[in-house]
Amino acid sequence: MTNSIPEFETDSNCFLIIGSNTSEGHPLIATRVLRAKQRGAKVIVLDPRKNQIGHWADVFYTFRPGSDVALFNGLLNIIITEGLADQAFIAERTENFEEMKALVAEFPAERVADLTGVPVEGLYTVARLYATQKPAAILYAMGITQHTTGVDNVKSVANLAMLTGNLGIPGGGVNPLRGQNNVQGSCDMGGLPNVFPGYQPVTNPETIAKFSKAWSSSLPTPNSPLSNKIGLTVTEMISAAGEGKIRALYVMAENPMLSEADINHTRHCLEKTEFLIVQDIFLTETAQLAHVVLPGASFAEKDGTFTNSDRRVQRVRRAVRPVGDSWPDWEIICHLAGKMGAGGFDFVSPQAVMAEVAQLTPSYGGITYERLEELGGLQWPCPTTEHPGTPYLHKNRFSRGLGHFFAVPFKEPAELPDQDYPFTLTTGRIMFHYHTGTMTRRSKKLDSEARQAYLELHPDDAQKIGLNGSRRVRVSSRRGQIELNVRVTERIKPGVVFIPFHFAEAAANVLTNLAIDPIAKIPEFKVCAVRVEALSGTEHRGGTDHRSGESERRTRRDE
């Protein structure tokens, strides 16, 4: 995020929420948005479904999944032609405005209404409101990124914020609401194929020299430098394993057998992997395919830090002792590295790990356990121990100097509905479950709130497929098929269906398309084509209660 979560409550005068089911996925952030609304801030929600936050919005429109770039180009064009652009900001802080302007001129409101399904007057309402109620924050999540055009969508978001001068100010910004508690921290620590900690590129010779020196005792031969080759992303690794290009996979805290697109393909690839190690806190669908399972300790059983969505590093403290033979992940890694003959993994505590992080990662340079204890949290960049941390980015200049406007042409998703597969499937989350359900489906309370998979279907479509009072359907795509219950609802547009991806017994990812964004390599989880057929029969729990029993596996020795 360019800005900070607390600013939403105190500073923002307008929110443009697109592709984010904020109140179900990020309820605490949604609360701040709603408090801002109480003091008069405007809330615009654009989403293919009338999600919960959409009900509370001042302005809400549904649009066709995958038409985001067209929608943004339309809004950019209106703001420019209505003279609502921030000329001073464009002149002083940006470049390439003319090229972007020429492209968006090809997106008059009438054409955009056709492409997206948002009415012409709706486009004007949104554009005018967002451009005039400064500071305005854009909040987005997976509805923007999980597309073959994910990077294009994000560039479009940035165009809109720059055009209106909504960057480098409190309460504005481009704010991707990050997913897991520590996904920001994982990326910051180099859990990406192309960078070392602090986004220092592996292709930079100086960076290689720096880390090779610092980690020399861990290298197979002390004087050989670290690799400067860009690695593969998760999705690419799995396919590479299927092709025999990767022989061993070490999967830590991921359950790709449910979370990757096209599960039949994923299973095939994982079964072909010569050596599969899974480190998890439960025996997941993926762990069941593994040659070795290493039991990790959960968040409540270990010390460390998490870095949240607004770059804030905070302490997490052990509340209970690890159960059974489980260990904190960092200890497992250090132990394993030691067994493999690597030096330099003899950390005595997470605090010692953090000291090395500060030494090698300029943006974390001033973050120490002592300061975190004292201040509660610190937002990077925080280069020195005197630095107070950074609540919002790009104050007087962008990291690259000038902000670059991109001319982003509109491309359709990889798979569109046709005669054989006439519906557009979009997938996502619900409030009560977390991803592959390893944790939440073991919680009695959460499980009782949402026990089974379902498909959201518009009433007109229910009639079209001849549902006739039945609650069961078969959903098929070119990759596979599942059976599940239906919720007939006007939340969803006709022609579009939604399935939450939490449920192993009717896994949405059996259906999804593995087509990926050429740059970010993220699969198109949000759009694929499916067929929906009514089955006779009534609602039932759909499959066996596959989790019970397993949950008893981890006996609580320490209680």
Ligand X SMILES: Nc1nc2c(c(=O)[nH]1)N[C@H]1C(S)=C(S)[C@@H](COP(=O)(O)OP(=O)(O)OC[C@H]3O[C@@H](n4cnc5c(=O)[nH]c(N)nc54)[C@H](O)[C@@H]3O)O[C@H]1N2
Give the residue among 353, 336, 258, 252 at the shortest CA–CA distance from 297.
252
Site string for ligand X, 447-476 (x = CB under 6 A): ------------------------------
Contact in structure between 177 and 139 (CB atoms under 8 Å): yes
Where does this chain touch ligand X (CB under 6 A) — which range of 317-325, 388-396, 435-443, 446-454?
435-443
176 lies in the site for ligand X, by CB under 6 A: no
* In the complex, minimum distance from the CB of residue 400 to ligand X, in angstroms, rounded to a whole number: 26
Pairing of strands 200-201, 195-196: antiparallel
Site string for Mo ion, 284-323 (x = CB under 5 A): ----------------------------------------
Report which of 502, 523, 378 is spatially closest to residue 450, judged by C-alpha positions.
502
Q: Which of 208, 185, 189, 184 is nearest to 199 (CA)?
A: 189
For 429-495, where are the E strands, in sequence order?
454-457, 472-476, 481-488
Considering the complex, what minimum distance in angstroms separates the CB of residue 153 from ligand X?
7
Closer to Mo ion by Cβ: residue 193 or 362 = 193
285 near ligand X, judged by CB under 6 A: no
Measured in Å, how far apart are the chain's first and last C-alpha atoms?
40
Residue list 361-400, contact with ligand X (CB under 6 A): none
206 versus 325: smaller Cβ distance to ligand X: 325
Q: Build a one-symbol-per-residue string for 126-165: x at contacts with Mo ion by CB under 5 A, - elsewhere.
A: ----------------------------------------
Question: Which residues partner with 426 through β-bridges?
Answer: 498
Rounded Cα gap, residues 321 and 113, in angstroms: 57
**Options 104-112, 316-324, 424-432, 467-475: segment touching ligand X (CB under 6 A):** 424-432
Q: Of 239-258, which residues contact ligand X (CB under 6 A)?
A: 252-256
Q: Give least dist CB 429 to Mo ion, A.
A: 9
**Helix, strand or coil, per DSSP, at residue 292:** strand
Give the shortest CB-397-to-ligand X separation in angstroms: 30
252 binds, among Mo ion, ligand X, none (CB under 5 to 8 A by kind): ligand X
Q: Which one of residues 133, 159, 279, 361 is an interface residue with ligand X (CB under 6 A)?
A: 279
Determine contact, residues 497/396, Cβ cutoff 8 Å.
no
Tabulate helix, strand, coil % of the chain (nearest 5).
35, 20, 45
Q: Which CA distances in Å does 54 have to 47, 430, 492?
A: 8, 15, 12
The answer to the question of residue 280 lying near ligand X (CB under 6 A) is yes
Which CB, 78 or 281, lies closer to ligand X?
Answer: 281
In the set 282, 306, 345, 503, which binds ligand X (CB under 6 A)? 282
H helix intervals, 243-379: 256-259, 263-272, 329-339, 350-360, 369-375
353: which 2 tokens?
A: 């790990």
Q: Which is nearer to ligand X, 226 or 278 (CB)?
A: 278
Q: Which residue has the tokens 């799995």?
A: 238
193 binds Mo ion (CB under 5 A): no
Q: State the number of binding residues for Mo ion (CB under 5 A).
A: 1
Q: Is residue 187 a contact residue for ligand X (CB under 6 A)?
A: no
> 28 burial class (0-12, 13-18, 19+ CB within 10 angstroms)?
exposed
**Which of 6, 108, 170, 179 touches ligand X (CB under 6 A)?**
179
Establish if 306 lies at the interface with ligand X (CB under 6 A).
no
Q: How far apart are CA 32 and CA 9, in angstroms?
A: 5
Helix (H) or strand (E) holding 68: helix 68-81
Strand order in the sheet with 312-316: 304-307, 312-316, 378-379
Q: Which of 426, 476, 477, 485 lies at the binding interface for ligand X (CB under 6 A)?
A: 426
Question: Which two three-digit tokens encode residue 432?
Answer: 């009560």
Cβ–Cβ < 8 Å for 5, 20: no
Among residue numbers 323 through 352, which ones bind ligand X (CB under 6 A)? 329
Question: At its nearest, how many Å lie between ligand X and the CB of residue 275?
Answer: 18
Chain residues that interact with ligand X, rule: CB under 6 A: 18-21, 24-26, 47-49, 51, 65-66, 68, 141-144, 146, 179-180, 252-256, 259, 279-282, 284, 296, 298-299, 329, 426-429, 431, 433-436, 438-439, 501, 508-509, 512, 525-527
Chain residues that interact with Mo ion, rule: CB under 5 A: 179
